[in-house]
Structure 1
Amino acid sequence: MAKKKEAQNTQSFAKYVRGFWILFLIGIAAVVLIFSLASWGVFGDMPDHTQLENPNTNLASEIISSDGKTLGKFYFNDNRTPVSYEEFPKHLVEALIATEDARYYGHSGIDGLGTVRALVKLGAGGGASTISQQLAKQLFHGEGSSNIAERIIQKIKEWVIAIRLERQYTKEEIVTQYFNIYDFNNNADGIRSAARIYFGKEPKELSIKESAMLVGMFKNSALYNPRPNRNPVGVKNRRNVVLSQMEKYGYISETVKDSLQKSDLDLNYTPESHREGIATYFRGYLDGYMKEWINENPKPDGSKYNLYNDGLKIYTTIDSRMQTYAEAAVKKHMNKLQSEFFHQNTPERNKTAPFLDLSNDEVEALIERSMKQSERWRHMKYDLKIADKDIRESFQKPTKMTVFSWGGEIDTIMKPIDSMRYYKSFLHTGMMSMNPKTGLVKAWVGGIDFRHFQYDHVKQGKRQVGSTFKPFVYATAIDQLHMSPCDKLPRSQITIEKGKFGNMEPWTPKNASGRYGGEVTLQQGLAGSINTITARLMDKVGPQPVVDLAKKLGIESTIPAVPSIGLGTADISVYEMVGAYAAFANKGVYTKPVMIERIEDKNGTVLFQFTPETRDVLSAESAYVTVKLMEGVTTSGSGTRLRTQGAEKWNKMYQEIITGYPYQFTNPIAGKTGTTQNQSDGWFMGMVPNLVTGVWVGAEDRSVHFKTITYGQGASMALPIWGMYMRSCYEDEDLEISKGDFERPEDLSIAVDCDKYNPDANSDGLDEDEGFPDELDI
Structure 2
Amino acid sequence: MLLNKLTKNKWFKYTLKGTLFLTVSIVLFFISIYIGLWGKIPTINQLKDLKQSQATEVLDIKNNLIGKYYIYDRQSIPYSDFPQYLIDALVATEDARFYDHHGIDTKSLFRVLFKTILTADESSGGGSTITLQLAKNLFGRQNYGPLTLVINKIKESIVAKRIEELYSKEEILTFYLNTVPFPDNTYGIESASLKFFNVHTKELNLSQAATLIGSLKANNSFNPRLFHKRSRSRRDVVINQMVKYGYLNPEEASKIKAKDFVLNYQHYAPNQGLAPYFRAVIKKQLDSILQLDKFKRPNGEPYNINQDGLKVFTTLDNTLQRYAEIAMRDHMTKLQKQYEKAYGNHDPWLKNKPAFLAMKKRLKKYKTLKALNLSEKEITDSLNKPQKQELFSWDGDTVKSMSTLDSLEYYLKILNAGLISIEPSTGEVRAYVGGIDYRFFQYDHVSQSKRQVGSTFKPIVYTAALENGMSPCTYFSAKAITYTDYDDWKPTNASESDEDNLNYSLEYALSHSVNTIAVKVLHETGIDSVISQAKAMGIKSHIEKVPSIALGSSNLKLIELAKAYTSFVNDSRPSEPVFITKIENKDGKVIASYDDLNPEQTIPKAYSDYTRQVMLEFLKATVNDGTAQRLRSSYNFKNDIAGKTGTTQDNKDGWFVGIMPNLVTVTWVGNDNQQIGFSNTSLGQGANSALPIFANYLQQLNADSNYNKITRAFFEKPSDDVIKDLDCEPTKKDNFLQRLFETNSDKTTFKKKKKKGILSWLLGKKD
The verdict on a shared fold, with TM-score over 0.5 as the criterion, is: yes
The secondary structure found in structure 2 opposite 1:401 is strand
Residue 613 (structure 2) pairs with residue 624 (structure 1): yes
CA contact (8 A) 1:341 1:706 kept: yes
Q: Return closer, same or farther for 1:417/1:33 CA change in 2, 3 Å cut-off.
A: closer
Q: Return closer, same or farther for 1:268/1:102 CA change in 2, 3 Å cut-off.
A: same
- 2:704 corresponds, among 732, 742, 758, to 732
Aligned to 1:641: 630
The 5-angstrom pairing of residues 585-596 of structure 1 reads 585-596=569-580
Q: Return closer, same or farther for 1:151/1:507 CA change in 2, 3 Å cut-off.
A: closer
Unaligned runs of 5+ in 2: 1-21, 734-749, 751-767
Aligned to 1:696: 668
Greater displacement, 118-127 / 238-247: 118-127
The secondary structure found in structure 1 opposite 2:667 is strand
Aligned to 1:66: 61
The secondary structure found in structure 2 opposite 1:217 is helix
The 5-angstrom pairing of residues 679-718 of structure 1 reads 679-718=651-690
The secondary structure found in structure 1 opposite 2:574 is strand
Aligned to 2:384: 396
CA contact (8 A) 2:142 2:152 kept: no
The secondary structure found in structure 1 opposite 2:333 is helix
The 5-angstrom pairing of residues 209-358 of structure 1 reads 209-228=207-226, 230=227, 232=228, 234-296=230-292, 298-347=296-345, 350=346, 352-354=347-349
How far apart, in 1, do the equivalents of 2:203 and 2:475 lie? 64
Residue 645 (structure 2) pairs with residue 673 (structure 1): yes
CA contact (8 A) 1:317 1:442 kept: yes
Give the AA of the match of 1:541: T
Aligned to 1:410: 398
CA contact (8 A) 1:587 1:618 kept: no
The 5-angstrom pairing of residues 599-614 of structure 1 reads 599-609=583-593, 610-611=597-598, 612-614=600-602
The secondary structure found in structure 1 opposite 2:357 is helix
Deviation at 1:709, TM superposition (A): 1.6
Greater displacement, 113-122 / 597-606: 113-122
Aligned to 1:168: 166
Give the AA of the match of 2:96: A
How far apart, in 1, do the equivalents of 2:317 and 2:104 lie? 48
Aligned to 1:137: 136
Deviation at 1:566, TM superposition (A): 1.3
Greater displacement, 335-344 / 172-181: 172-181
The secondary structure found in structure 2 opposite 1:276 is coil
Q: Return closer, same or farther for 1:475/1:128 CA change in 2, 3 Å cut-off.
A: same
- Please report the TM-score for the alignment, with normalisation by the length of structure 2: 0.83
Q: Return closer, same or farther for 1:345/1:528 CA change in 2, 3 Å cut-off.
A: same
Give the AA of the match of 1:74: Y
Deviation at 1:135, TM superposition (A): 0.6
Give the AA of the match of 1:493: K
- 2:493 corresponds, among 511, 527, 541, to 511
Aligned to 1:462: 450
Aligned to 1:86: 80
Unaligned runs of 5+ in 1: 1-26, 648-662, 765-777
How far apart, in 1, do the equivalents of 2:205 and 2:722 lie? 63
- 1:490 corresponds, among 455, 476, 480, to 476
CA contact (8 A) 1:397 1:415 kept: yes
CA contact (8 A) 1:625 1:750 kept: no
How far apart, in 2, do the equivalents of 1:151 and 1:711 lie? 67
CA contact (8 A) 2:60 2:317 kept: yes
The secondary structure found in structure 2 opposite 1:697 is strand
How far apart, in 1, do the equivalents of 2:411 and 2:23 lie? 74
Give the AA of the match of 1:721: I
Deviation at 1:221, TM superposition (A): 2.1
Aligned to 1:372: 361
The secondary structure found in structure 2 opposite 1:370 is helix
Greater displacement, 66-75 / 684-693: 66-75
CA contact (8 A) 1:494 1:535 kept: no
CA contact (8 A) 1:600 1:606 kept: yes
How far apart, in 2, do the equivalents of 1:397 and 1:153 lie? 49
How far apart, in 2, do the equivalents of 1:327 and 1:30 lie? 66
Q: Return closer, same or farther for 1:732/1:53 CA change in 2, 3 Å cut-off.
A: farther
Give the AA of the match of 1:190: G
Residue deviations 1:207-258 (CA, integer Å, cap 9, x gap): 2122112112222323333332x4x554333322211121123222101112
Q: Return closer, same or farther for 1:634/1:754 CA change in 2, 3 Å cut-off.
A: farther
How far apart, in 2, do the equivalents of 1:697 and 1:494 lie? 29
How far apart, in 1, do the equivalents of 2:554 and 2:166 lie? 64
How many residue pairs were aligned? 700
Q: Return closer, same or farther for 1:119/1:508 CA change in 2, 3 Å cut-off.
A: closer
Q: Return closer, same or farther for 1:586/1:738 CA change in 2, 3 Å cut-off.
A: farther
Residue 573 (structure 2) pairs with residue 578 (structure 1): no
Deviation at 1:511, TM superposition (A): 2.7
Aligned to 1:446: 434
- Please report the TM-score for the alignment, with normalisation by the length of structure 1: 0.82
Deviation at 1:670, TM superposition (A): 1.0
Deviation at 1:673, TM superposition (A): 0.4
Give the AA of the match of 2:246: G
CA contact (8 A) 2:267 2:274 kept: no
Give the AA of the match of 1:618: Y
How far apart, in 1, do the equivalents of 2:314 and 2:224 lie? 32
Give the AA of the match of 1:642: L
RMSD, matched Cα: 3.4
Q: Return closer, same or farther for 1:428/1:37 CA change in 2, 3 Å cut-off.
A: closer
How far apart, in 2, do the equivalents of 1:198 and 1:376 lie? 39
Aligned to 2:747: none
Q: Return closer, same or farther for 1:83/1:373 CA change in 2, 3 Å cut-off.
A: farther
Aligned to 2:527: 543
Q: Return closer, same or farther for 1:33/1:145 CA change in 2, 3 Å cut-off.
A: closer
Give the AA of the match of 1:240: D
Deviation at 1:761, TM superposition (A): 4.2
How far apart, in 2, do the equivalents of 1:483 and 1:496 lie? 25
Deviation at 1:667, TM superposition (A): 2.1
Deviation at 1:186, TM superposition (A): 1.5
How far apart, in 2, do the equivalents of 1:66 and 1:270 lie? 19
How far apart, in 2, do the equivalents of 1:286 and 1:302 lie? 23
How far apart, in 2, do the equivalents of 1:61 and 1:427 lie? 33
The secondary structure found in structure 1 opposite 2:644 is strand
The secondary structure found in structure 2 opposite 1:420 is helix
Q: Return closer, same or farther for 1:407/1:141 CA change in 2, 3 Å cut-off.
A: closer
How far apart, in 1, do the equivalents of 2:170 and 2:30 lie? 26
Aligned to 2:99: 105
CA contact (8 A) 1:79 1:193 kept: yes
